[in-house]
Amino acid sequence: MDRRSTGEIDDPLYWIFNNVMFEMSVAFELKNRIVDKDGRRIFFKKQEELLGVLSKKWQQKREREHIQILARAPFDDLASLRAIYCGELRKQGYPEDELKRLAYEKYPKNTVEK
């Protein structure tokens, strides 16, 4: 729960529909997941597309918000593969403190944005 205030009449509708489109976009990404791609590539695009059906202004606003998110936390296409690999290593009995090192050794973090 959060409390927001605004001087813009459009903002409350954006907040509501942004949350609805978030849920729809997450469901879409789960059904269309690509294991070696950061799920946000699909999710962000879908959320922007859905908001754009309602308002081009909302679509552009969400695109700017996604750019800000990616500036702090860039796409990491191999994160899912690392997680799967960690699970496999865990089942084989590897100690927890080794999992991350081995996973990043096999699936390094992206160094170039695609």
pLDDT tens per residue, range 64-106: 999 999 999 999 999 999 999 999 999 999 999 899 999 999 9
Query: Could you tell me the pLDDT band of residue 111, with boundaries at 50, 70 and 90?
Result: low
Task: Give pLDDT, residue 113.
Answer: 54
Task: Give pLDDT, residue 8.
Answer: 83
Task: Give pLDDT, residue 24.
Answer: 98
Check residue 108 and report its DSSP letter.
P
Considering the entire predicted model, what is its pTM? 0.81
Asked if residues 38 and 79 have their Cβ atoms less than 8 Å apart, the reply is yes
CA of residue 4 relative to chain centroid, distance: 24
What does R_g of the chain's alpha carbons equal in angstroms? 18
Distance CA 83, CA 87 (A): 6
User: b/e for 56-76, b at 16 or more Cβ within 10 A?
Assistant: eebbebbeeebeeeeeeeeee
